[in-house]
Amino acid sequence: MQHKIVQKTDPILRKRAEEVLPDQIKSRKIKDIIHKMSASLRASSNGIGLAAPQIGIPLAIFIVSEEAIVVKKESDIIYNEDEKEKRRKRWKHFVFINPRLIKSSRKKELMPEGCLSVDGIFGQVRRAKQVTVEALDENSRMLRVGASGLFAQVLQHETDHLNGVLFIDKAENLEKLPNE
């Protein structure tokens, strides 16, 4: 039940996502959207986060794979495709509905970044090293999540999506990857 991930030319990626009304969070519609997002993220070979606009749905929802917490540094990344695929199917996805970035560290770091909606292009984006995000989860419970490293980077990247911003708007040293 995965959805096609829309690419950078789709106008939906440039619009501010609409908030989900609190009484709709537990609805079948929202549960289906989250399920489609999870299926789409699992089907991608290298994504660790996905915002609803990336599957053509203009709502303020994003998911992040727990892989963003577990993988702390380049040496933790698995390059063996079979092992990577097995692990990908087991990662849980954290759900963020109507998220707000409430705190960002002053310390910023230039980090390598790509995007499922900007296929084949990578660059470096200056991101806060630590952030705190408030959101609702899929059960309407308030979350307050503090993050650093890759997890903080993904939270900022996905929040940008909900504000109509793509990483290429902020990136330095953009480069196109050779077709495999």
C-alpha distances out from residue 62 to 14, 74, 108, 133, Å: 16, 24, 23, 12
Q: What is the DSSP letter of 14?
A: G
* Dist CA 114 CA 126 (whole Å): 13
Which is the catalytic residue, given 67, 113, 138, 158?
A: 158
Amino acid letter for position 42: R
Sequence-distant (6+) residues with CB within 8 A of 27 are none
Q: Residue 167, Cα to own-chain centre: how many angstroms?
A: 11
Is 158 one of the catalytic residues?
A: yes
Which residues are 48's β-sheet partners? none
The phi-psi region of residue 173 (left if phi > 0; otherwise alpha if psi is between -120 and 50; otherwise beta) is left
Catalytic residues: 158
